Amino acid sequence: METMRQEKQALIYEYNGETLRVEPWGKNSFRVRSTMMQEIVDTDYALLPQEEISLDITIGEYESKIRNGKITAIMKVNSWNHKCRLFFYNQKGELLLAEQGDGGALNLNSRNFKPYLGGDFELTVSFESNPNEKLYGMGQYQQDILNLKGCNLELAHRNSQASIPFVLSNLGYGFMWHNPAIGKVFFGKNITQWHASSTKQMDYWITAGDTPDEIEQAYAKVTGTVPMMPEYGLGFWQCKLRYWNQEQLLEVAREYHHKNIPLDVIVCDFFHWPHMGDFRFDEEFFPDPDAMVKELEEMGIKLMVSIWPQIALDSENFQEMKQKGLLVKTERGVEINMRFGGESVFYDATNPKAREYVWNKVRKNYYDKGIEIFWLDEAEPEYTVYDFDNYRYYQGPNLQIGNIYPQAYARTFYEGQKEAGQERIVNLLRCAWLGSQRYGALVWSGDIHSNWETFRRQLCAGLHMGIAGIPWWTTDIGGFFGGDPDKEEFRQLLVRWFQWGTFCPVMRLHGDRECSDRHVYRKDGREVMFTGGNNEIWSFGEENEAILKKYILLREAMRPYTRKLMKEAHEFGRPIMRPMFYEFPEQEICWDLKEQYMYGDSMLVAPILYEDTEERSVYLPQGHTWTLLHNGQVYEGNQTITVSAPIDIIPVFIKDNNLKELIGMI
CA distance 487 to 12: 65
Active-site annotation holds for 377 = yes
* CA dihedral sign of residues 533, 537, 539, 540: positive
Find the catalytic residue in 23, 120, 380, 536. Answer: 380
Full DSSP string of 531-542: -----SGGGG-H
CA distance 192 to 212: 21
Strand spans (E) along 562-606: 577-578, 597-599, 603-605
CA distance 227 to 415: 12
CA angle (409, 414, 417) in 5-degree steps = 135
Active-site annotation holds for 269 = no
Q: How many other CB atoms are there within 10 angstroms of residue 647's CB atom?
A: 17
CA distance 662 to 380: 39
Find the catalytic residue in 447, 545, 595, 601. Answer: 447
CA distance 119 to 199: 10
In the three-class reduction of DSSP (H, G, I as helix; E, B as strand; rest coil), residue 84 is classed as strand
In the three-class reduction of DSSP (H, G, I as helix; E, B as strand; rest coil), residue 573 is classed as coil
CA distance 31 to 421: 34
CA distance 157 to 233: 26
Q: How many other CB atoms are there within 10 angstroms of residue 632's CB atom?
A: 13
Q: Is residue 182 within 8 Å of 626, Cβ to Cβ?
A: no
Full DSSP string of 467-508: HTT---EE--BT-SB---TT-HHHHHHHHHHHHHHTTSSSEE
CA distance 303 to 300: 10
Active-site annotation holds for 571 = no
Cα–Cα distances (Å) from 504 to 39, 547, 590, in that order, read 45, 17, 20
Active site residues: 377, 380, 447
